[in-house]
Homo-oligomer: A and B are copies of this chain.
Amino acid sequence: MAFTSVWLREPRKPGGPGRSREEIVAAAVELLDEEGLDGLSMRKLGARLSAGATSLYWYVATKDELLELAYDQVWGEMTVADPDKVGWRDAVSVLAHSMRQVMLRHPWLADLLGRLPALGPNALHVADRMRRMFKVAGFRGSDVDFAGATLTAYVFGMTTPEIAWNSAMGETGDDTEEMRATVRRAVAEFPEMIEGVDMNARADPRAMRELSFDFGLVSVLDGLERRLTT
């Protein structure tokens, strides 16, 4: 009914007997990394902690709360540089690359971003530092938020399809050759698309994605920088 989040209510007092929140979250992240979002069920997580499936409900009101916790946990892996030392453009750039790497390391993140509120301490810390970066750059007022939203939208939007591609490939094995043939067939009636598929035929897809990410990131940063000079 009301807007809720794990972070908006008091947690169980830690330090008692029984499992700790950290233990549970760590196990959840493990399971998510191994089996993906669909692989995480309360029963499986319970088993991994050698507990009954429903014991978890003592620590967590709902599965979504558990996901919020796991979510914030990995936000802690982001690298935030100090814009006063390295300059805002480098700081933002490092953060963007770091966000991408964390997402690639935890592919289930893509499914959660934008679906869950990001009010955990780690997520807030990153957001706080990012605001700082754009203020150092010279943005003022709402533009600070707009710039931040633009940057994260880009990174998130660029990395999500990359993850999907990875996992599609992971399941298929690396028969890139055969699948390119089928894609070419699907694309047969679209002249521009044929050109695109053919052009990328002999490129290394992994390297290509790095190039693409950097191309877009530079574009976004240039475009943001332009907002400052008027």
Contact = CB atoms under 8 A, between A and B. Distances in A.
Interface of A: 1-3, 5, 7-8, 110-111, 113-117, 119, 121, 124-125, 127-129, 131-132, 135, 141-147, 149-150, 152-158, 160-161, 163-164, 168-169, 171-172, 175, 178-179, 182-183, 185-187, 189-193, 195-196, 199-200, 203, 208, 211-212, 215-216, 218-224, 226-227
A143 to B, nearest CB: 7
Nearest to A126: B190
A209 to B, nearest CB: 9
A216 B146 contact: yes
B119 A183 contact: yes
A3 B215 contact: no
A5 B186 contact: yes
A7 B186 contact: yes
A183 B128 CA distance: 14
Most B Cβ at <10 Å: residue of A3, A5, A208: A3
A7 B1 CA distance: 40
26 contacts: A3-B172, A3-B179, A5-B186, A114-B163, A114-B164, A121-B189, A127-B190, A127-B192, A131-B195, A132-B192, A135-B192, A142-B208, A143-B215, A145-B200, A147-B219, A149-B216, A150-B215, A150-B216, A150-B220, A153-B153, A153-B216, A155-B157, A215-B227, A218-B227, A222-B222, A223-B226
B154 A160 contact: no
Contacts of A212: 142, 145-146, 149-150
Given A149-B216, A222-B223, A124 B3 contact: no
Contacts of A186: 5, 7-8, 119, 124
